[in-house]
Amino acid sequence: MDRTVAKDAKRWVVKIGSALLTDDGAGLDRAAIDGWVSQIATLLDQGNEIVLVSSGAIAEGIARLGWTQRPDSIDELQAAAAVGQMGLIQAYESSFERFTRATAQILLDHDDLANRQRYLNARGVLKKLMELGVVPIVNENDTVVTDEIRFGDNDSLAALVANLIDADLLVILTDKDGLYSANPDHDSTATLMPQAQADDDALDALVGDSASGLGRGGMVTKLQAARLAARSGCNTVIAGGRNEEVLLRVGRGDVVGTLLSASQKPITARKQWLAGQLQVKGQLILDAGAVAVLSKEGRSLLPVGVKGVSGEFSRGDLVSCVNEAGAEIARGLVNYSAVETLKIKGKGTELILEVLGYREDDELIHRDNMVVNAQL
């Protein structure tokens, strides 16, 4: 099995899950952390650039607070994150000090990547830290984040960071050895899949929800993360974090875990940002002509092609464009609010001024602010 794409990767994002970091909830596994850090230090010495996306703050906080299970309320989760973040970062800092490697804590929430200026700021600081030889340690800002703006799991966060820094490889370390042909917990005949295309629809039937109460992920989120990472041409390896020297083996091109290859060409940084928006504020239902124009010709969306409008959105918000059957065709930043769009839908551009009394833009969504379905 050819693992050249992993062997040749120079810029990595490594994500470590909660179950691994906390030894299935028993508190931070310092020995395991030391092992991963030692491997990362070796990879850095070999000339690689690495951003570490680490779960574990909430799980560590739960252990420190003496709770027996993950709470449901947002304030308790935020409290656990605040307590656990201290121990998590301290553990990483102490471990990397053995290799005279400086670390930096980067806390992100969805707003940081939804806002174009903050997106660029995050991109800039991560690239500068890597240039300085510092190891950025990224986590979702669980202390202040709310359900409305959270990423949902650190697998998605890791994939978006891979898009953000134009990574070559995303490595997701988990408590499973990779992606199996069936659920290995219930099917003794299940076999590990060494390689697949990230966009292969047949993989959807092979993934299931997390059995652990520690994190919000599962194999389904890891597959989704691989598909997110593929937007920027980034390949993904899902592998068992407890396997000996797993990161070094990936770096050598050994067959370890499951390699999910990116089959599509990288899209531009701005298109990645648009596609990475997780909060769609509304929906536009398009007629057949508009669907053809967007999907086949790559042109802008005009009001005349819109048949229906749903949701409450403002100028500049992200909206989804669907056909009459409800299938998403594209998404983009809209130039008119929902109220305005309802008034001008189905009308020619020349009528916008007459209907609204003003005309900000000819296009409802400009093609430069749109990502079509093949890029989502």
What is the model's pLDDT at position 323?
94
Cα 18 from Cα 230, distance rounded (Å): 24
User: Is the Cβ–Cβ distance between 189 and 163 less than 8 Å?
Assistant: no
Q: For residue 119, give the nearest of 235, 231, 227, 270 by alpha carbon.
A: 270
Q: What is the DSSP-derived secondary structure letter of residue 342? A: H
The tens digit of pLDDT for each residue in 220-255 reads: 889 989 998 988 889 999 999 999 999 999 999 999
Looking at the fold, whether 53 and 165 belong to one and the same domain comes out as yes
**Tens digit of pLDDT at every position of the chain (376 positions):** 678 888 899 999 999 988 888 876 667 899 999 999 999 999 999 999 999 999 888 888 888 999 988 888 888 888 888 899 999 999 999 999 999 999 999 998 777 877 777 888 899 999 999 999 999 999 887 666 555 435 556 898 899 999 999 999 999 999 889 998 887 777 788 899 999 999 888 888 877 544 444 444 468 889 989 998 988 889 999 999 999 999 999 999 999 999 999 987 777 777 777 777 557 899 999 999 999 999 888 899 999 999 999 999 998 888 999 999 999 999 999 999 999 999 999 999 999 999 999 988 899 999 888 988 765 5
User: Is the Cβ–Cβ distance between 197 and 186 less than 8 Å?
Assistant: no
User: Could you say which of 254, 272, 290 is where a domain stops?
Assistant: 272
| Tokens read off for 83 | 């307590």
User: Is the Cβ–Cβ distance between 96 and 50 less than 8 Å?
Assistant: no
The runs of H, that is alpha helices, within 66-202 are 74-97, 110-114, 116-131, 154-165
Q: How far is CA 134 from CA 41, 96, 103, 107, 357, in A?
A: 11, 10, 5, 16, 54
pTM equals: 0.78
Strands (E), 216-342: 235-240, 258-261, 282-286, 306-311, 318-322, 328-333
Structural domain for 217, as ranges: 4-272
CATH (domain of 327): 2.30.130.10
Looking at the fold, whether 292 and 154 belong to one and the same domain comes out as no
Looking at the fold, whether 265 and 312 belong to one and the same domain comes out as no
Assign 31 to helix, strand or coil. Answer: helix
If one counts every other C-beta atom within 10 angstroms of the C-beta of residue 192, the result is 17
Looking at the fold, whether 156 and 304 belong to one and the same domain comes out as no
CA 104 to chain centre: 20
User: Is the Cβ–Cβ distance between 200 and 133 less than 8 Å?
Assistant: no
Q: What is the dihedral of CA 81, 86, 88, 92, to 10 degrees?
A: 150
User: Could you say which of 272, 299, 321 is where a domain stops?
Assistant: 272
What is the model's pLDDT at position 216?
41
| Tokens read off for 2 | 């050819």
Cα 23 from Cα 168, distance rounded (Å): 29
What is the model's pLDDT at position 150?
52
Cα 133 from Cα 45, distance rounded (Å): 10
User: Is the Cβ–Cβ distance between 235 and 9 less than 8 Å?
Assistant: yes
Amino acid at 347: K
Cα 225 from Cα 83, distance rounded (Å): 27
User: Could you say which of 238, 272, 306 is where a domain stops?
Assistant: 272
Looking at the fold, whether 139 and 156 belong to one and the same domain comes out as yes
Looking at the fold, whether 65 and 153 belong to one and the same domain comes out as yes
What is the model's pLDDT at position 209?
47
Looking at the fold, whether 261 and 296 belong to one and the same domain comes out as no
Cα 290 from Cα 165, distance rounded (Å): 34
Task: Annotate 173-239 with three-state secondary structure.
Answer: EECCCCCECCCCCCCCCCCECCEEECCCHHHHHHCCECCCCCCCCEHHHHHHHHHHHHCCCCEEEEE
Cα 15 from Cα 349, distance rounded (Å): 47
Number of domains into which the chain is organized:
2
CATH (domain of 50): 3.40.1160.10
What is the model's pLDDT at position 210?
43
Looking at the fold, whether 313 and 350 belong to one and the same domain comes out as yes
Looking at the fold, whether 133 and 155 belong to one and the same domain comes out as yes
Looking at the fold, whether 132 and 232 belong to one and the same domain comes out as yes
Looking at the fold, whether 141 and 265 belong to one and the same domain comes out as yes
Cα 318 from Cα 280, distance rounded (Å): 5
Looking at the fold, whether 253 and 219 belong to one and the same domain comes out as yes
